[in-house]
């Protein structure tokens, strides 16, 4: 009898996974431009080709954290650039955006859901590009 219960549990788990993969709008199907985007803090890292420390990359000067107005380089024109230490409040940043760190000297950027640099959930290091769902993001903190 225990073998039958294990078999039934395995069949149920398989059915749940298959349903999640097939059901329209499920998280498994939601891509970067899918109709059912998550509303919480979500990001995924993107590969940057040709990164060279100390150079301007895709319009982002050396020493800066740059935010682009969508999921792309926007013809090498970031919409926001930050270089100074401390908290930088964000306003009217919605949807998915590229966030690229062209910072130097091992500086980091922290992405935060609250004003004042609070509730930070992602650290971005030099040379990293992240595609971030910005709706819940309210501030960025730059630190050495």
pLDDT tens figures, 67-125:
999 999 999 999 999 999 999 999 999 999 999 999 999 999 999 999 999 999 999 99
Residue 72 CA to residue 95 CA, distance in Å, equals: 12
Considering the domain architecture, whether residues 9 and 63 belong to the same structural domain is answered as no
Considering the domain architecture, whether residues 47 and 25 belong to the same structural domain is answered as no
Considering the domain architecture, whether residues 5 and 69 belong to the same structural domain is answered as no
Largest Cα–Cα separation, the chain: 67
How many structural domains is the chain composed of?
2
Considering the domain architecture, whether residues 15 and 45 belong to the same structural domain is answered as no
Considering the domain architecture, whether residues 16 and 80 belong to the same structural domain is answered as no
**For 15-29, how does the pLDDT look when each residue is reduced to its tens digit (9 = 90+)?**
433 333 333 443 333
Considering the domain architecture, whether residues 13 and 83 belong to the same structural domain is answered as no
Parent domain of 18:
1-31
Considering the domain architecture, whether residues 76 and 12 belong to the same structural domain is answered as no
Considering the domain architecture, whether residues 67 and 16 belong to the same structural domain is answered as no
Report the phi/psi class of residue 25: left, alpha or beta, with left for phi > 0 and alpha for psi in -120 to 50: left
The strands making up 118-124's β-sheet, listed across from edge to edge, are 86-89, 139-143, 108-114, 118-124
Q: What is the model's pTM? A: 0.70
């Amino acid at each position: 009898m225990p073998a039958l219960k294990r078999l039934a549990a395995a069949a149920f788990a398989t059915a749940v996974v298959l349903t999640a993969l097939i059901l329209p709008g499920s998280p498994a199907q939601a891509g970067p431009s899918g109709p059912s985007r998550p509303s919480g803090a979500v990001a995924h890292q993107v590969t940057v080709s040709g990164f060279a420390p100390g150079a301007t990359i895709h319009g982002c000067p050396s020493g800066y954290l740059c935010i682009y107005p969508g999921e792309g380089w926007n013809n090498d024109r970031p919409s926001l650039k930050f270089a100074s230490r401390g908290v930088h409040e964000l306003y009217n940043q919605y949807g998915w955006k590229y966030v690229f760190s062209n910072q130097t000297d091992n500086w980091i950027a922290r992405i935060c859901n609250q004003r004042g640099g609070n509730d930070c959930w992602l650290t971005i290091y030099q040379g990293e590009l992240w595609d971030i769902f910005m709706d819940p993001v309210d501030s960025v903190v730059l630190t050495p």
